[in-house]
Amino acid sequence: MLAQLIKVEWRQLSADRSTLAAALLLGAAIAYGAYNGAQWVRFQNTTLAAAQAEETQRLAAIRSDIPKLAAGEKKVPPHLDPRSPAAFGRGVGARYAVMPPAPLAALAIGQSDLYPYYFKVSTGSKQTFLQNDEIENPTHLLAGRFDLAFVILYLFPLVILALSYNLVSAEKESGTLAMTLSQPVRLRKLVLAKVAVRGTFLAALALGLSIIGVALGGADLSAGGAGLHLLFWVAIVILYGAFWFALAVAVNALGVWLVLVIVVPSFMNVAVKSAYPVPSRVELIQAIRVAGDAATREGSLLLARYLEDHPEMAPAAAPGSAAPPDFYALNVAVTEQVERKVQPVLDHFDRQVANQQAMIDRLRFLSPAIVAQSALNDLAGSSAHRYQHFLAQADTFHREWRAFFNPRILRKAKLSAEEVGELPQFRFQEEPDGAVTGRFVVAFAGLLAAVGLVAIPGLAALRSYPVAG
């Protein structure tokens, strides 16, 4: 009987022009979202390829120039001499730390247009490259980019409500409901058939075009965990759609859409920022400036203390000599002192950001839209979790880079062409699959609970639904 109901419902639905209009609207939005996501991924890949090509060419030129400089065949200013560890490590030979787009990045741009995805790491303080943001139109950043995740989170529920708000009331008003239920058909089974037809149709449209978007974005599903993450994406989209179908059956949900998708996230954003405000960038810049001025005034003393703590880095000197320290050696000590003074401000900033994320993780279950968005961004590799993972690796690489050059700067050594080939190199490591899977399971359970909380009372209410009148 259920199969017959589904067949009849599909014929009625496919003959309805409003269904075709809704499908075309959703399909066009998904197609544009997929295209926009693919374009963003293509832009990121092009940018990173250009950065890597520039680095490769620059280091190759340096390796060929060092023997010429040693032989006197070529001359450059001291601050551009690649044989100088200070000049090389601080700019001439600086290397990139990059976070490539994840395989499913085309599905959800998320905040990847806000987070830096590459840094040019040098021996300078961490702030010299972490704060080196690209110039972008702030209006574009505020509005965000139109992608598949936006369509799923905002437009998908509206199409579901448009096709499902009058599942039962339309037949009741036309007088066909009483005639249908005069057959051996229960109202609950009739509603489930209607939901199954609409849900299958819309899910096939949304997921089919999403997969096309993955293909357009050049996703490599053979990459570790990519196929599994795509299945997780499908599960989240289906559950999110199920929630709105359940809500459509239970109540007239247009007002609820506004509350759960717009109002609750906005209030949460305000509450989180009020509870854990992060320090302003002006405060950070001021702290760096004050620390830099103080450290510069005490440069020689700081260098002496630094060499006392690191005697293995002290340059060899003739007995009784008292040559003044050079600028580059002083800079090593000053940079260390500035970072030490600024670290409390950075730690406070990191704590506040971590507290904000923890509060969002606790409160997100107040809105299925937030749960779904967090999960979709996470699976697409555009979440704050992946960015923090990249930032930790960039920080580690920065320490390795300085550990390679600082001893050579203090010893006033000169780099050889062979040492250029031994430079530390950044290799991004993805988060363990277990971390992403763990967060997905929590999101999946939250959405499943939301579906149950809405669907069970809604189906129970159908028992007392007045068929006529």
The pLDDT of residue 400: 94
Contact (CB, 8 A) for 107 and 36 = no
% of the chain exceeding 90 in pLDDT: 23
Q: What is the C-alpha separation between 187 and 177, in angstroms, rounded?
A: 9
Q: What is the C-alpha separation between 25 and 347, in angstroms, rounded?
A: 47
Q: What is the C-alpha separation between 149 and 23, in angstroms, rounded?
A: 17
**Could you tell me the end-to-end alpha-carbon distance of the chain, in angstroms, rounded to an integer?**
27
> Helix, strand, or coil here: 95?
strand
Residue 287: both structure tokens together: 């702290």
Mean of the pLDDT values across residues 13-24?
A: 80
Q: What is the C-alpha separation between 167 and 191, in angstroms, rounded?
A: 7
Does the pLDDT value for residue 373 go beyond 60?
yes
Contact (CB, 8 A) for 226 and 214 = no
Q: What is the mean pLDDT of the chain?
A: 80
Q: What is the C-alpha separation between 240 and 147, in angstroms, rounded?
A: 17
Q: Of residues 301 and 207, which shows the higher confidence score? A: 207
User: Running DSSP on this structure, what letter comes out for residue 76?
Assistant: -
Mean of the pLDDT values across residues 51-65?
A: 93
Handedness of CA 378, 384, 387, 392 (dihedral sign): negative
Candidates 33, 40, 25, 44; CA nearest to 146 is 33
At residue 121, φ and ψ (nearest 5 deg) are: -85, 135
- Alpha carbon 141 to its chain's center: 14
The pLDDT of residue 404: 92
How many of the other CB atoms lie within 10 Å of CB of 304?
12
- Alpha carbon 39 to its chain's center: 16
Handedness of CA 79, 81, 85, 87 (dihedral sign): positive
Convert the pLDDT of each residue in 238-249 to its tens digit. 999 999 888 887
Convert the pLDDT of each residue in 443-459 to its tens digit. 999 999 999 988 887 77
Q: Of residues 129 and 120, which shows the higher confidence score? A: 120
Convert the pLDDT of each residue in 315-362 to its tens digit. 554 444 334 446 677 777 777 777 777 777 777 878 888 888 888 888
The pLDDT of residue 446: 94
Does the pLDDT value for residue 168 go beyond 70?
no
Candidates 177, 172, 218, 187; CA nearest to 43 is 218
- Residue whose tokens read 């395989």: 103
Q: What is the C-alpha separation between 191 and 205, in angstroms, rounded?
A: 21
Does the pLDDT value for residue 312 go beyond 80?
no
Residues 6+ apart with CB under 8 A from 103: 214, 219, 220, 221, 223, 226, 229, 381
CB burial of 318-333 (b: ≥16 within 10 Å; e: otherwise) equals: eeeeeeebeebbbbbb
Candidates 181, 182, 183; CA nearest to 191 is 181
